[in-house]
Chains A and B, each alone.
Chain A
Amino acid sequence: MQKIGVFVCWCGSNIAATVDVSAVSEALSHEPGVVYATNYQYMCSEAGQNTIKDAIKKYGLTGIVICSCSPRMHEATFRKTAAAAGLNPYMVEIANIREQCSWIHKDMATATEKAIILGKAAIAKVHLNAPLTASQSPVVKRALVIGGGIAGIQTALDIADAGFEVDIVEKSPTIGGKMSQLDKTFPTLDCAACILTPKMVDVAQHEKIKIYSYSEVEAVKGFVGNFEVTIRKKARYVNENVCTGCGLCTEKCPQKNVPNEFNLGMDKRRAIYIPFAQAVPKVATIDANYCMKLKTGKCGLCEKICTAGAIDYSQKDQLIEQKYGAIVVATGFNPIKLDNFEEYSYSQSPDVVTSLEFERITNAAGPTSGQLLRPSDGKHPHTIVFVQCVGSRDTSGCGKPYCSKICCMYTAKHAMLTREKYPDTDVYVFYIDVRTPGKNFDEFYRRAAEEYGVHYIKGMVGKVAPKADGKLMVQASDLISNEQLHIDADMVVLATAIEPDKSARPLATMLTASMDTNDFFTEAHPKLRPVESPTAGIFLSGTCQGPKDIPETVSQAGAAAAKVIGLLAKDTLTANPCVAHSDEMMCNGCSSCEKVCPYGAITYVDKEFRMPDRTVAIRRVAVVNEAVCQGCGACTVACPSGAMDLKGFSNSQIMAEVDAICK
C-alpha cells in the first residue's frame, strides 16, 4: 500500500474562488492510502514546495498528488521537488483543477465536486505508479552526412564549424551534386559554380570534415547518440592519397566512348575520368564497366603514364566501420525518366531536352561550351518551346502527384537568359500555373515576360511531332484565346518533374526512417520539426524531404546542422522513461507491435525460458529499445496478448482513473 500525500493548491484565488479547497483536501484525506492532505495558497512557491518536501520526509510518503494547475505548467516543478526530498519524480501525479475545473465552472458546489473526483482519479493512478528511472546513454561526438550535394555540404560545414567531426558519404566520385551541373541560379543569376566551388574547397580543407567519395552506406545499426555505420568505399582503382589530379590519364586513355554522366550523356568521356575541373576530391576514377585493362587485361596505359604511380588495378571495395551520434540524410533528387511522356518525343528527337540538359547546354563548361546549339545539327535554335509541369502534378499514374516547385523559376531563368543572349530567338513557355512564392521570385518571372519578351501561354502541349526538315511541330492549347496552336520549334525543353534519388528508399529502411508514398523522407512534425525524422537522431537536409530550391535547401541544411549540434553538444542523452515495455512471459511473438511502431523501436529476440517442467524452451519475444521508443503507446493497443504496456500510462493506471471518474 502506498503512503500518499495530497496537496491542494489555491493558486491565489484562481482555484480557491470557485473550488472549496478545504473541502477538497478534507474529502481526499479519506481516500484509501492517503496519510496526509493539506491545502496551501501557492503550492509552486518555495514555501509550498517546502511543505511538500517536509511531508514526504515526515510521513514517509511513497506517492504524492498535487491538485493544482495543468501538468503542462508545473509537473516538472513538482517532480523536481519530489526528487529533492528523495522521492522518485515519477511518483507524482497532478490533478488539473484549474484549467479544467475552477476556470471553466462558476458554481462552487459543482466545481468542488469535480475537483474531488479529479483528485480521486489522480490518487487511484498514483497507487499504481512505479518509480521510473530515465536511462542515460553516451553520445558519440561525430556526425554522418549522407550525400554531398549543396545540402550535405552546407550541413557538414555548419556542424564542423561548431567543432564536431563530420564524415560525408557521397556515392559519386566527387561532391557537388546537382548544383555543380547548373549554370546560373535564380533569382539573382549568379553562377552556380562561382558560389558552390568555394564551399566544396572549404569542405576539402576543413580539418573536421572527412569525405568518403565514391562510397555508399552499407548498413546502419544502433540508435540516437550511438549509431554504428558500415560504409562501402567502392574501388576506384586509383590511390586517392597519391593521385595529384593532374588529369594526364584522362586525356590519354584510349577508351573515348563513355557517355559523360556529368553532361547527361550529351558528350563522351574516357574510361578514367575526373567528373569536372573543380571536382572534390580531385582524383581520377576508373570506370570498371569500360576500362579495357579491367575488362580484358589489355591496355594499362594510364598506369604507364601516371608519374605519381596512383593507378592500382587490384584495388578492392573497402568496408569501413564508424560510430556516429547523429545521421543527416541529404540524398537529393533526380529528374524522372520520361518513358511515360513520349507524346513530347523525348526519345524520338535529340532536340527535345530536359531542363537539366538545357542547363548543361548553356553552361560554359558543358558540351557546347555554353553556346546555345541544338543537339541534332549544332545550329542555333530560333524558336524554343518550354513545357512546364512535365510529369509533375500528375495523378494519372504516369508522373508524380506533387508540384516539383523549382520548374517555374528555372524555366523563367532559361527563357530570360535565352532572350538575353540570343534576342533573335522566339521563346514560348506553356504553363498551367506560374508558381513563384519566394523572395524576388515573382518579380523575376514578370521580368522574363515584360522585359525580355518571353511568350507565356496558359495551356499545355499535347504533342511534339518531329518533322523531316528537323523542325518540331508543337501542338498545344492556348486556353485564354481558346485555340489550338501549332508552333514549328527548333528545340523543346521539358521542365521534368523531380523525384527523390533511388538510393533513398533502401537507406530509409536501414535507418528505420519513415517515407511518404513518393519516397520523400517524412519529417517529425510538418510545421514544428521540419528537419528531423521521427526516428531520433536522424535529420533531413535538402530535397530528400521534398522539392526545394537552393535558398531553401541551404536554410534547411543549416537548420539540420543546428539540430545535430544541439544533440552532439550533450555528453549523455536522458531518455523519456515513459516508454513501452513488453512482459516477455506474456508475449507470443506475433509482430503486431513491431508493425505499428512508427520508430522501429521494437525488435524480436529468441530467448530461452525455463518451463515449469524444468525443460528449456526458446521463444521469440518482443524487446523495446528504450532509447528509440518515444512512448506513444500504439503498440500497447495492438498487442493481442496484453504483454505490451506503457510505463507511466499503464493499462491498470488508466483503468483506475476510469473507475474513479465513473464511480
Chain B
Amino acid sequence: MQVNEIKEFRPKIVAFCCNWCSYAGADLAGTNRLNYPSDVKIIRVPCSCRVNPMFILRAFQRGADGVIICGCHPGDCHYTSGNYYARRRMTLLFSMLDYLGIEKERTRVEWVSAAEGAKFAATMNDFVETITKLGENKRLEDLRCKE
C-alpha cells in the first residue's frame, strides 16, 4: 500500500509595513511575545505609499499566496497623506487583480499603529487563516520565472 504523503500547505505571505507605525507595531507584537505564523515575512518601507503595485504583482508572480500592506491610521501618516495615496492605489489594484483571478481576499490594506502590537498579530493570524483556506495561488504561475 502506498500512502501519498500529504504535505501541509504553508502559504507564502509578504507584508509591507511602513517604518513609522506598522513596522513598529510588528516590533511591539514581538516585544509582547504575541504569536503569529512564520509564513508572514515583513518588508520595511518608509511609508505605505512607497509600495509600488509592481511589487505586489512581482510577489504573486513569484509565488506569494497573499500580500498585505500595513500603514498608519488615516490622519496619522508620518508624511501627512501617504496612507491615503496607498489606499486609493490599492483599491484600484486589488479590483484589477480580482479581475485577473487573484481573489480579493488575497490582498489587504490594514492600518496598524505603533501601539497596536495585538492588532498586528491578530491581523496576521486572520490573514494567514484566510489565505490557508483559499489554498495555493495558482494564477500568474505560468508567468513565473522558472529557475
Contacts and interface: CB of A to CB of B under 8 A. Distances in A.
Interface string A617-646: 000000000000011111011100000001
Contacts of B31: 99, 103
Interface in A284-305: none
List the 9 closest pairs (A to B, CB-CB), nearest first. Answer: A99-B30, A633-B50, A632-B79, A662-B62, A103-B30, A634-B49, A632-B47, A99-B27, A114-B38
A104 B33 contact: yes
Contacts of B85: 596, 634, 637-638
Nearest to B33: A103
Given A596-B85, A633-B50, A634-B85, A526 B29 contact: no
Given A104-B30, A105-B35, A654 B55 contact: yes
A594 to B, nearest CB: 14
18 contacts: A70-B27, A99-B26, A99-B30, A100-B42, A101-B30, A117-B41, A525-B78, A534-B79, A632-B50, A634-B49, A634-B79, A634-B85, A637-B52, A637-B89, A649-B46, A655-B54, A655-B55, A662-B14
A98 interface: yes
A633 B27 contact: no
A113 interface: yes
Contacts of A103: 30-31, 33
A72 interface: yes
B49 A104 contact: no
A534 B80 contact: yes
A531 to B, nearest CB: 15
A203 B56 CA distance: 57
A104 B14 contact: no
A534 B79 CA distance: 7
Given A100-B27, A534-B80, A649-B50, A661 B41 contact: yes
A637 B38 contact: no
Contacts of A100: 26-27, 30, 42
B53 A637 contact: yes
B14, B34, B52: most-surrounded residue (chain A CB, <10 A): B52
Contacts of B43: 121, 654, 657-658, 661
Contact of A649 (B45, B78, B80): B45
A630 B79 contact: yes
Interface of A: 70-72, 96, 98-101, 103-106, 110-111, 113-114, 117-118, 121, 514, 522, 524-527, 534, 578, 596, 598, 630-634, 636-638, 646, 649, 651, 654-655, 657-659, 661-663
Contacts of B106: none
Given A114-B38, A637-B53, A598 B81 contact: yes
Interface in B52-85: 52-55, 58-59, 62-64, 75-76, 78-82, 85
Contacts, number: 133
Given A636-B50, A662-B14, 15 more contacts: A71-B44, A117-B41, A526-B75, A534-B80, A633-B47, A633-B82, A634-B47, A634-B79, A634-B85, A637-B89, A646-B46, A649-B45, A655-B54, A661-B14, A662-B12
A636 B52 contact: yes
A99 B29 CA distance: 7
B94 interface: no
Interface of B: 12, 14, 19, 23-24, 26-27, 29-31, 33-36, 38, 41-47, 49-55, 58-59, 62-64, 75-76, 78-82, 85, 89, 121
A96 B30 CA distance: 10
B78 to A, nearest CB: 7
B57 to A, nearest CB: 10
Given A99-B31, A103-B30, A651-B54, A637 B49 contact: yes
Nearest to B85: A634
Contacts of B75: 526
B63 A632 contact: no
Contacts of A637: 49-53, 85, 89
Nearest to A110: B38
Contacts of B82: 598, 632-634
Contacts of B50: 632-634, 636-637, 646, 649, 654
Given A634-B47, A637-B51, A662-B14, A524 B27 contact: no
Nearest to A654: B55
Chain A binding surface, main DSSP class:
helix
A111 B37 CA distance: 10
B24 A72 contact: yes
B36 A104 contact: yes
A209 B105 CA distance: 61
A387 to B, nearest CB: 32
A657 to B, nearest CB: 5
A105 to B, nearest CB: 5
A226 to B, nearest CB: 22
A470 to B, nearest CB: 51
B80 to A, nearest CB: 5
Contact of A111 (B38, B59, B81): B38
Contacts of A96: 27, 42
A636 B38 CA distance: 30
A534 B54 CA distance: 28
Contacts of B23: 70, 72
B36 A658 contact: no
Contacts of A110: 38
A578 B46 contact: yes
Nearest to A596: B85
Given A114-B38, A596-B85, A659 B80 contact: no
B27 A72 contact: yes
A633 B41 contact: no
Nearest to B24: A72
Contacts of A105: 35, 38
A159 B50 CA distance: 37
Contacts of B55: 651, 654-655, 658
Contacts of A114: 38, 41
B147 to A, nearest CB: 8
A178 B78 CA distance: 33
A113 B38 contact: yes
Contacts of A118: 41
A526 B73 CA distance: 12
A309 B79 CA distance: 55
Nearest to A524: B80
B46 A631 contact: yes
B30, B34, B47, B55: most-surrounded residue (chain A CB, <10 A): B30
